[in-house]
Structure 1
């Protein structure tokens, strides 16, 4: 019995020493980590911190798995700063966890957005250099090598080529590990990042959407699946397929400002304006919460992005009061965080342009001013072009032709500036500026009574628009070329042709206020009372819950009252 007690005590002593040794053992830290400017600090998670559910730890220490999975969830909702901070938290706790380095590199890549800066690329390259020296299993090595394919030779190889490399590597992982949900999800994201940004076939989007839809029923609370379905279906052809998912995503990741906003991409494509408004009002609140927690000077970019979609939705409901109110909340700001994102710079020229052009307030459009802020607009030719397009459209309709000619030359130069950037990710932007200066030139010919030449050039602009995809940051064209063609045809007393143009416009841009009104007037002038009533009734239905002062609604009510039978 005494011998048994001695053995027991000895065993317990050994176990205690072993546990203390493990507890006191510090992970080996690579000194190179100190040279990397990692994002650190407390995670700024507004609301109740819900970002969806997933499990993707890949053999890191058990104690870090909760942080790692949160980091991946943040990554899937494009909370890139907080995602990097969460991955770095894992690195600090377990510097030998290869996938934490993978996560930092993925947070820097932000595949569905703008390309990383040179500083970010250098940082990602160095992070992966350290990661590749760690011990890891084959699967981890495959993930590391996949994202490394994007960063390799970043100084000499263009973004599009490197993004395609990543896609190819992710396809290999997807096919190799057929039971790995995250492999399928990140492969779908890679497909989206290499999509044809100009054409209308949507081959990558269809393929990615099919993969994601096959996963959604068994993973209904996964933020990446829902989010990337919306991105892939954010176009007029596929939007209906994304509606069910759009109505779920916000509840999957309620603490993400981006998750609150993203459903409105689908609502906008389908003309579901009330849901778009509700979605973006929630996103505004989340964005303000994050900006306050981060102590930013000026709004967080998600607030400006949501405002852009919000103003667009209010305008389609004829609600100028709320559209102008939302713009007034941001128009005096001089600083945004961060300053140079498309989601900041685009709305600051597009929103005032829309407010003037949608209301055909030509005097207002002709006298617009660029938003004054700590930014050199010459570095953003696509965004600046929107401002010059609006000014030109205003000027041409108040017969200030000298001003129009100046603006046309500026637009042409801005397109050349875009081309000179030699950035293949800006193909849509180049096409959109071309559509703009052709549209303005068409109306300049038209206002100078060269109707044939004006109509021909307007049709060229429309054809170019037909074959150009929507830019992912925008709720839609500032004003569709096909809608302006309808306006021109009406002025030429060709109402039947105008009606065809307006109806084509409504197929691509459902429930646009001016599209419906234009179709009603074209039908009226064509002698088609059935369609007149149909379109005017649509206009009344569209605006019934908004306090609109648009004269078009008064006209619609008057017509329906006088033609009740």
Structure 2
């Protein structure tokens, strides 16, 4: 993630000329406190090597603006340093888990094209990145697949080069399909990274990408060692401090996620990194809401106003967070009128526009109003995403469209059709791996199914639906409350009591009245607890 605006690369190189003496003062791999250590010998001058390694450290924690400055300093110190151009191009593309802007792609391509012919083996590295940013088709997901294939060849040719292995693992993760039920790419990447981390315990990339590799429901527990260590080793990096919350969120550890993202947001604000701040705040708002702390969540959203105004609209994380936070606040707390009244966030990302239309649709249906306009808007956004080759996002928006339409059908008396379509939407969503940009769904389709079944008195089915959500999203507030209520209505008082206790424990720091917490207290009170 990066600042709101990026200087032209020529200006960055010019600044690098001034920075080079200062950046080259240290030994390679010795980057000071709280960033970590990394080194790859790139056959450049000593000054360029030192600056390159500092850029490498920053790049591995996705501190792209700082990485560009260090790579520019390396190029300024040694104009023949081919890998300095590679680093500048890579950092220009920002976070490759997203899609860079056409301008960033063009700038990266120019950087790679304008240098002298690189010698082996660096020509392979530069060719791999140049293929990623070449003009014309295919779409970005297919390009990432090709990039992963090229990095596989580079890694195979240099088995003793840890950086080659690490960037191959990262490429695998970026190109991983969103609907793989066995997380094959994630497991392969982790198998590459674990032994490297054992050899290089302060390597920021090894820890960062292990967290991404383990950011799935099935693997999240394995990510705790890297999550706990990374934020300490790279404590000066806003993104590094945020990253452990990917694992904490998967495990329902809301206090740890809250602490990580409060710190990350503060670091990002101090650094002027608006999108990093907004991304951390979205995870923060999500964790606060799951803890019953709606007041604190609203405060976190209100505090994001400055970052929202300064966001980089060319990168998904900032606009996504700006649309998601108010939608989460309304949907998670049952403020249906507030959800129905949400104003769309101006964005060129269809998946960002879909957030508001989905929340509005749920709010309108739950308020007894018609939601055809929101369903139509979601269908158009879904079709646009599919045409642009963004199949995973198209599937997610399709789930949102189907869920709103299904709830509308149930509200108008066609429960059979509505429940059938909600079940189908839930099955599609269950098969998708969430994007790294989102902490969790705005409202899981299977949770909506559970709430619909519970309202219809189909208590056993409702309980099963809520429990299925909790297996993927542990300690999720609305599903815990729903599972408890369904078990109680289903004549399973001991199960209901256990769920109510867990809900009250998860929300022990609740800062506002919630009907679900009141119901839990009453149910346990009747048992003398």
- Provide the TM-score with structure 1 as the length reference: 0.86
CA distance in 2, matches of 1:279, 1:526: 39
Q: Quote how far apart the aligned CAs of 1:332 are.
A: 6.8
Cα deviation 1:94-152 (Å, max 9, x = unaligned):
10111111211221334633233333223222322233525x3x33333233323323x
The answer on whether the counterparts of 2:328 and 2:442 sit within 8 Å (CA) in structure 1 is yes
Q: State the 1:537 CA deviation.
A: 0.8
1:353 and 2:327 are equivalent in the alignment: yes
Q: Distance in 2 between matches of 1:110 and 1:53?
A: 21
Deviations 1:155-177 (A, max 9, x none): 34433333233222211221222
1:384 aligns with 2:320: no
3-state DSSP class of the match of 1:217?
A: helix
Answer whether contact 2:274 2:307 (CA < 8 A) is retained. no
Q: Would you say the 8 A contact 1:336–1:344 is kept in 2?
A: no
In the TM superposition, what is the alpha-carbon distance from 1:408 to its structure 2 partner?
Answer: 1.2
Cα distance between partner residues in 2 of 1:500 and 1:51: 45
Distance change >3 Å, CA 338–CA 461, structure 1 → 2: same
Residue 449 of structure 1 aligns to a residue whose secondary structure is coil
1:358-437 to 2 correspondence within 5 Å?
358-371=332-345, 376-377=346-347, 379-401=348-370, 404-420=371-387, 422=388, 424=389, 426-437=390-401
Q: Following superposition of structure 1 onto structure 2, how do residues 109-124 of structure 1 map, counting pairs within 5 Å?
A: 109-110=93-94, 112-124=96-108
Structure 1 gaps of 5+ residues are 1-33, 292-298
Q: Deviations over 1:459-503 (max 9, x none)?
A: 111111112221210001001010010001111111111110000
The residue number in structure 2 matching 1:180 is 161
Larger deviation, residues 257-266 vs 357-366 = 357-366
CA contact (8 A) 1:353 1:478 kept: yes
Q: Give the direction of change, closer, same or farther, for the CA distance of 1:486–1:39 in structure 2 (3 Å limit).
A: farther
1:91 match: 75
Q: Residue 533 of structure 1 corresponds to which residue in structure 2?
A: 497
Find the counterpart in structure 2 of residue 20 from structure 1: none
Map of 1:505 onto structure 2: 469
3-state DSSP class of the match of 1:356? helix
Indicate if the aligned counterparts of 2:39 and 2:53 stay in contact, CA closer than 8 A. Answer: yes
How far does residue 558 in structure 1 lie from its aligned partner after superposition?
A: 2.1
For residues 326 and 14 of structure 2, the distance between their equivalents in structure 1, rounded to whole angstroms, comes to 37
Q: Quick check: 1:339 aligned with 2:313? A: yes
> What's the counterpart of residue 318 of structure 1?
292
Query: Is the CA contact 1:349–1:386 (under 8 Å) kept in the aligned structure 2?
Result: yes
Q: TM-score, normalised by structure 2?
A: 0.92
**Match in the other structure for 2:131:** 149
Q: Pairwise mapping of residues 58-457 of structure 1 onto structure 2 (< 5 A)?
A: 58-110=42-94, 112-134=96-118, 136=119, 138-151=120-133, 153-291=134-272, 300-331=274-305, 335-371=309-345, 376-377=346-347, 379-401=348-370, 404-420=371-387, 422=388, 424=389, 426-457=390-421
Look up the SS of the partner of 1:352 in the other structure: helix
Question: Partner of 2:443 in structure 1?
Answer: 479
Residues in 2 aligned to 1:192 and 1:333: alpha-carbon distance in whole angstroms: 29
Shift of 1:363: 1.5
Deviation string 1:182-236 (CA, Å, 9 cap, x unpaired) is 1110110111121102333321111001110121112110000000011121121
Deviations 1:63-85 (A, max 9, x none): 23221111000110111121111
Structure 1 moving runs of 4+ over 6 Å: 42-45
Which of residues 507, 510, 515 in structure 1 aligns to 2:479? 515
Q: Name structure 2 gaps, 5 residues minimum.
A: 1-7, 24-30
| Distance in 2 (alpha carbons) for counterparts of 1:333 and 1:144 | 35
Q: C-alpha distance in 2, partners of 1:337/1:486?
A: 37
| Paired positions, count | 511
Structure 1 residues 39 and 266: CA distance shift in structure 2, 3 A? farther
Contact 2:54–2:70 at 8 Å: present in 1 too? yes
Q: Quick check: 2:101–2:314 contact (8 Å CA) kept in 1?
A: no
Q: 1:77 to 1:40 in 2, by over 3 A?
A: farther
Offset at residue 37 of structure 1 (A): 5.5
**Matched-pair contact (CA < 8 Å) for 1:57–1:68:** no
- 1:277-316 deviation line (CA, Å, top 9, x unaligned): 000011011111101xxxxxxx611111111000000000
The structure-2 alpha-carbon separation of the partners of 1:242 and 1:492, relative to structure 1 and needing over 3 Å to count, comes to same
**1:457 partner SS:** helix
Q: Looking at CA atoms only, which structure, 1 or 2, has the larger radius of gyration? A: 1
Q: Residue 368 of structure 2: SS of its match in structure 1?
A: coil
Deviates more, 1:526-535 or 1:426-435: 426-435
* 1:257/1:302 contact within 8 Å kept: yes
Residues 447 and 479 in structure 2, CA contact (< 8 A), matched pair in contact too: yes
